[in-house]
Homo-oligomer: A and B are copies of this chain.
Amino acid sequence: MSEFKNGTKKVFVGPFVQSKTLKELEICKDGIIGVDEEGRIAFVERSTADVEAALKLHGWEKVEVIRLKENGFYFPGFIDTHIHASQYPNAGIFGKSTLLDWLNTYTFPLEASFSDVARARAIYNRVVSRTLSHGTTTAAYYATIHVAATNLLADICLAHGQRAFIGRVCMDSAIAPDFYKDESAAQALAATRESIAHIRNIDPTHAIVSPIITPRFAPACSPDCLAQLGELHRETGYPAQTHISENMNEVKLVGELFPDARSYAHVYDDAGLLTDKMILAHAVHLNDDEVALVKARDAKISHCPASNTALTSGTAKVRKYLDYGIDVGLGTDVSGGFSPSVLEVVKQAVWVSRHVAMEAGDAVKLSTEEALYLATRGGAKVVGLAERIGGFEVGMDWDAQMVLLNEVQDMEGHGEDEGPVDHFGWESWEDKVAKWVYNGDDRNTVAVWVKGRLVHKTSRYQS
């Protein structure tokens, strides 16, 4: 990207919004954030619009100044803790299916087609540029079983500058379809190692792309495969991701396939996979014993409300997990989830919490602030990068989006038509944020940075 000037310091001038805690947003109306040559936040000034003074204070001279010239704010980049990059072409296609028939009808045939690397290139380029356009600065991706296509996804994320975890999918059990499966546990392991080696080669420090060990989910993996992936997880220290307890029929199936395991969560624990570097997607139907185990192991939960609703999987009890102190982030779960937008999933998390509240009472509702926390700071904890991303703190990387709202400019009601959010001018800052969350979309995200690098911009972006 031509905008990326290594060795140039940048200062971002204008309002910024970020999660301070689960329940509290910080809204700073006059912010100046300095980002160093490495893309790290060097200072955060909260009470001046005087750029010269701020630069002088920090001894900075030659810098690029990015100013928010319209009504809007900087917001931390979104973290998508669960997304199947390969399923992107099926986003929105699910019919009346539920998990297990959905996999066979829609998902496995599409994923199998990634043996064609040219096809994989078209799809992966598109999903990475799309998710960047929605403000996703970090994604935990599932690819497919194909090493070549999986490695290509890593290449594409690195080229686009999207921070990503790249998972070569392992699935060797009898329930995986004949046309799309690993021949054996050994082959699943060898392919995983091959993909890890590629990613180490293209990004040795994992500044942008990292491997992630990816047993698809317990029913698709032999006990041997799970155990070997658990050993690889321990040996390499690379994170892991899988699915858990998404659908009642799946839970039943796990009981049949793993009769000796105390629970679904114990299947992973028995294999050495339930660690503080494991991302568990869904966690809709965990029993209390499992919740306690997840907490004891400090494993992470990726909440995927859009998917859980679309596939009628159930409603994850997020308030309960938060009350237990479990780290929770949000996942689009494309294409069980219909949208590649984390902002859409922020809304869906709020909606699902309201449906839970209709049964369990208002206390379990997630607020807008809480859902935004899950999409940023929560997600950062889930992917193991809480010190580096998710907020605007000195020492963190500048993974951020510039959000603009539309101003209704005169009393005839005219105004810009470049986005879905109308701002009449009398709104409070809290209302502006709410309008963005509930009616905003990728049109409002006019620029996106990862590690200080401009990785997406729209025609509305003016620096």
Q: Which residues of A contact B (CB under 8 A)?
A: 88-89, 91-96, 98, 118-119, 121-126, 129-130, 133, 309-310, 312, 314-315, 338-339, 350-351, 354-355, 357-358, 362, 365, 367-368, 408, 410-415, 417, 420-422, 424, 426-427, 431, 434-439, 441-442
- Say how far A132's CB is from chain B's closest CB, in angstroms: 12
Establish whether residues A121 and B91, one from each chain, have CB atoms under 8 Å apart when the complex forms.
no
Residue pairs across A and B with Cβ atoms less than 8 A apart, 9 shown, are A93-B427, A96-B367, A119-B411, A121-B411, A122-B408, A123-B413, A126-B415, A310-B354, A312-B358
Out of B94, B130, B358, B438, which one reaches A92, CB within 8 Å?
B438
Number of copies of this kind of chain in the complex: 2
- Given A118-B411, A123-B413, residue A438 in contact with residue B91 (CB < 8 A): yes
Out of B121, B358, B424, which one reaches A89, CB within 8 Å?
B424
Out of B122, B368, B439, B441, which one reaches A411, CB within 8 Å?
B122
Chain B residue nearest to A359 (CB atoms) is B359
Complex formed: what's the CA distance from A240 to B275 in Å?
Answer: 60
- Given A309-B354, A310-B354, A442-B420, residue A92 in contact with residue B122 (CB < 8 A): no
Establish whether residues A121 and B312, one from each chain, have CB atoms under 8 Å apart when the complex forms.
no
Establish whether residues A91 and B435, one from each chain, have CB atoms under 8 Å apart when the complex forms.
yes
Establish whether residues B314 and A437, one from each chain, have CB atoms under 8 Å apart when the complex forms.
no
- Given A93-B431, A122-B410, residue A314 in contact with residue B415 (CB < 8 A): no
Complex formed: what's the CA distance from A30 to B231 in Å?
Answer: 58
Complex formed: what's the CA distance from A89 to B427 in Å?
Answer: 9
- Given A312-B354, A358-B315, A422-B130, residue A91 in contact with residue B441 (CB < 8 A): no
Chain B contacts for A422, CB-based, 8 A: 88-89, 91, 126, 130
Complex formed: what's the CA distance from A368 to B124 in Å?
Answer: 28
Establish whether residues A125 and B414, one from each chain, have CB atoms under 8 Å apart when the complex forms.
yes
- Say how far A177's CB is from chain B's closest CB, in angstroms: 20
Chain B residue nearest to A352 (CB atoms) is B355
Chain B contacts for A439, CB-based, 8 A: 91-92, 338-339
Establish whether residues B438 and A441, one from each chain, have CB atoms under 8 Å apart when the complex forms.
no
Chain B residue nearest to A113 (CB atoms) is B426
Chain B contacts for A338, CB-based, 8 A: 438-439
Chain B contacts for A412, CB-based, 8 A: 121-122, 125
